[in-house]
Structure 1
Amino acid sequence: MQIHRDMGRSLTGTVIITGGNGSLGSEIAVAIAKTQPFTHLLLTARHPTRQDVRDLITRIRLIGPRSIEVLGLDLTDLRSVTSFVQRTIERVRSKEIPPISNLIHSAAIASYTVDELTLDGYDPVYQTNCVAPFFLTVGLLEAFRAGDGTPDGGAKVIYIGCSAASYGRLDFFDRNQGRDTRPPGTILSRKEGNIRFGSSKLLASVALYALRRSLASTDNIALDLFTLDPGGMVGESRLRTGAPLSVRIAHQTRSGLGPILRMVSRSSINKTSVPAKVIAKVAFRRVAVEQAERYFILDSEYEAASVLPTLRDGPAMQSQLVHMMGRVEVGSQFKGSPESTSTAPTTY
């Protein structure tokens, strides 16, 4: 197995970025490559041999010698996630790669049509944006860097949120077990699509904050988890087919699928490189695991519960954690092979 690595000293940690070839994920990778030369970048992509992946590797190579690889990961297939988790843990154990210092959940999809369910039986928007990120986080717990009380101790999980969470409902995917009874291909209204997408983002944030609370009750894992809303962005949309024209236009000018959920006004529209730099900075902020639950909107920091009021409801949080852990338990029944093509590295 080869990894593009030409470093003069030992690597300090591994950063995993899902959707590493996406418009935001690729800029996050570039921003980290510029500021953290001794970090191993492990990017995931559904199709790691695409030209956009090759172009990204070229950009990073021009920055200087870096350790980077791209692995295939399909978030709509929990067997792929399981295989990725197993292989990553094995590689950390064998010291082939350093422990995970950051896991950045950048991959996400939106859809404005009724979709076929995934092989795991979930709505693909729900699975990609919520179930798979939670599954991946829990599965990789053993591979995260342990805290040692130093300013560089501990690890971070950053979930890339969105103002669309303001549309979300915690019970949205509970009805009919998340299955839309209309025929696949049925066009959804902008409102329906927004609620569906927003609910997936809201559920993921709440579940990860609930996991954070559970981990904080023990001293075994020094791990901080929080949501970061990148704000309005200009960039190529990753929307699935069927998006209404009004939504496609909105995505060309804003990241939000609707009104902005903001503690302060953030009306400016930025290139993806702007929030990417913020994410890279927050990811490597020199502090130990923090006690406060935080929610970031670009570089502004807030108490998480002030943005997500559900976090003040302890029983609802516990219920969501139990529910998601049940998803993980079911998903873990799919034993992926570490040698499967989904985790074979693409080297350049």
Structure 2
Amino acid sequence: MGTPLTETVIITGGNGLLGSGIAVEIAKKQPFVHLLLTARDIRTDNVRELMGKIRLIGPRSIEVLPLDLTDLKSVASFAKATVDRIRFKDIPPVTSLIHSAVATSYVVDDLTSDGFDPVYQTNCLSPFLLTIGLLEAFRAEDGTPKGGAKVINIGCSATSSGRLDYFDHDYGRNGRRPGTALGAKEGNIRFGSSKLIGSVALYALRRSLIWTGNISLDIFTLDPGGITGQSNLRTGAPMSVRVAHQTRSGLRPFLRMVSRSSMNKASVPAKAIARVAFHSDTVENWQKERYFILESDYEAASVLPSLRDGKKVNKLLIQMMQMIEVETKEMDSPAPLRPQLGMISPPTLSL
């Protein structure tokens, strides 16, 4: 390409239903962006199909790299390698990190090699570690409307049934053996809890970065609404869940008449996410904690009431940092960040 690339966008779960849709929409509208997609296995048919779709759009800079979100060392290595590539100007700075990868499961799973529930680690702990590991990779604020960078965490309505303490005791296993089936209600609470904790932890990180004042980064959650299609990472869903999903898919034209966000093809939220990622915000908007449902902008604390409790938010941030402490030391994350994470000034907690 004759024109130099201007920025890098990272999409985790880039071979998934939503992640691949986001990549296609960005490729259509942003020809000078380097798309860096991640997948647990890069040798799958959906990766090849995605690359084929983007080639049909035109000459684009895109790569799909392996990243296992159930392995903290994989996350740390990916982040460090990406930071190094940006330092050596192999790729441009990151302007958007989109946490699109997701895992759901309706069975009691074996713990990961790091000792965590895989749903919790994939949806919460690894995105948090990846965000911190990439801090030096993000584009710095330059005083213009396009300055700075964004971290977009893909959320869901299931957070309303989640609990911040769900994984505190035995990771919700209650002594049950791996392979034990979970009911639809418990499986949804487990999933919703992982997404709730992930969102609150990233907002807590945002507050801490504002307090330290050394990195300009807008972090928020975006709920894409219901999406039709098959998930790559859904394990052991009970019949009630499968029937409900099929029923919603069949009713999609009617649900859409009631609510735009009820049930959509993946292309609908993918377009919304691509627009939000490249929208030039005012300084006032960057100072707010925002939560998007498609393109509708809400006060984050109105959607996630947990954010109103400053002590719980602080406690969660410290807990998350302790869980990833070894990996952050190996990644050489910015020195000023480590001692001040968790020390959030009370004024930043007033909502």
1:202 to 186, 196, 199: 196
Q: Specify the code of the residue in structure 1 equivalent to 2:166.
A: F
1:306 to 302, 305, 320: 302
In the TM superposition, residue 86 of structure 1 has moved relative to its aligned partner by: 1.1
The separation in 1 between residues aligned to 2:101 and 2:247, in whole angstroms, is 19
Identity of aligned residues (%): 69
What's the counterpart of residue 125 of structure 2? 131
In the TM superposition, residue 238 of structure 1 has moved relative to its aligned partner by: 3.0
What's the counterpart of residue 324 of structure 1? 320
SS at match of 2:197: helix
SS at match of 1:271: coil
SS at match of 1:68: strand
In the TM superposition, residue 275 of structure 1 has moved relative to its aligned partner by: 0.2
SS at match of 2:43: coil
SS at match of 2:11: strand
Q: Is the 8 A contact 1:102 1:155 kept in 2?
A: yes
Q: Deviations over 1:250-279 (max 9, x none)?
A: 334659xxxxxxxx9556421000000000
The separation in 2 between residues aligned to 1:299 and 1:144, in whole angstroms, is 23
Gaps of 5+ in 1: 1-6, 256-263, 336-348
Q: Deviations over 1:41-85 (max 9, x none)?
A: 000000011111011001001111100000000000111111101
What's the counterpart of residue 40 of structure 1? 34
Residues 177 and 268 (structure 1 numbering): CA distance in 2 closer, same or farther, change over 3 Å?
Answer: closer
SS at match of 2:212: coil
The separation in 2 between residues aligned to 1:218 and 1:124, in whole angstroms, is 31
Relative CO higher for 1 or 2, CA cutoff 8 Å, sep ≥ 6?
1
The separation in 2 between residues aligned to 1:100 and 1:91, in whole angstroms, is 11
The separation in 1 between residues aligned to 2:246 and 2:85, in whole angstroms, is 39
What's the counterpart of residue 142 of structure 1? 136
2:315 maps to 1:315:
no
What's the counterpart of residue 292 of structure 1? 288
What's the counterpart of residue 93 of structure 2? 99
2:239 maps to 1:221:
no
Q: Specify the code of the residue in structure 2 equivalent to 1:24.
A: L
Q: Is the 8 A contact 1:122 1:178 kept in 2?
A: no
SS at match of 1:217: helix
Residues 287 and 45 (structure 1 numbering): CA distance in 2 closer, same or farther, change over 3 Å?
Answer: same
Q: Specify the code of the residue in structure 1 equivalent to 2:316.
A: Q
2:114 maps to 1:120:
yes
What's the counterpart of residue 76 of structure 1? 70
SS at match of 1:323: helix
The separation in 2 between residues aligned to 1:109 and 1:334, in whole angstroms, is 26
Q: Specify the code of the residue in structure 1 equivalent to 2:228.
A: V
Higher-helix-fraction structure: 2
Q: Calculate the TM-score normalised by the size of structure 2.
A: 0.88
What's the counterpart of residue 162 of structure 2? 168
Q: Is the 8 A contact 2:119 2:191 kept in 1?
A: yes
Q: Calculate the TM-score normalised by the size of structure 1.
A: 0.89
What's the Cα RMSD here? 1.7
The separation in 2 between residues aligned to 1:164 and 1:246, in whole angstroms, is 16
The separation in 2 between residues aligned to 1:72 and 1:267, in whole angstroms, is 31
2:15 maps to 1:21:
yes
Q: Specify the code of the residue in structure 1 equivalent to 2:51.
A: I
The separation in 2 between residues aligned to 1:217 and 1:97, in whole angstroms, is 29
2:270 to 276, 283, 287: 276
The separation in 2 between residues aligned to 1:90 and 1:254, in whole angstroms, is 45
1:159 to 131, 142, 153: 153
In the TM superposition, residue 34 of structure 1 has moved relative to its aligned partner by: 0.6
Gaps of 5+ in 2: 250-257, 332-351
In the TM superposition, residue 236 of structure 1 has moved relative to its aligned partner by: 1.1
The separation in 1 between residues aligned to 2:81 and 2:231, in whole angstroms, is 31
Q: Specify the code of the residue in structure 1 equivalent to 2:117.
A: D
Q: Is the 8 A contact 1:232 1:253 kept in 2?
A: no
What's the counterpart of residue 59 of structure 1? 53
The separation in 2 between residues aligned to 1:132 and 1:14, in whole angstroms, is 20
Q: Is the 8 A contact 1:236 1:252 kept in 2?
A: no
Moved more, 216-225 or 170-179: 170-179
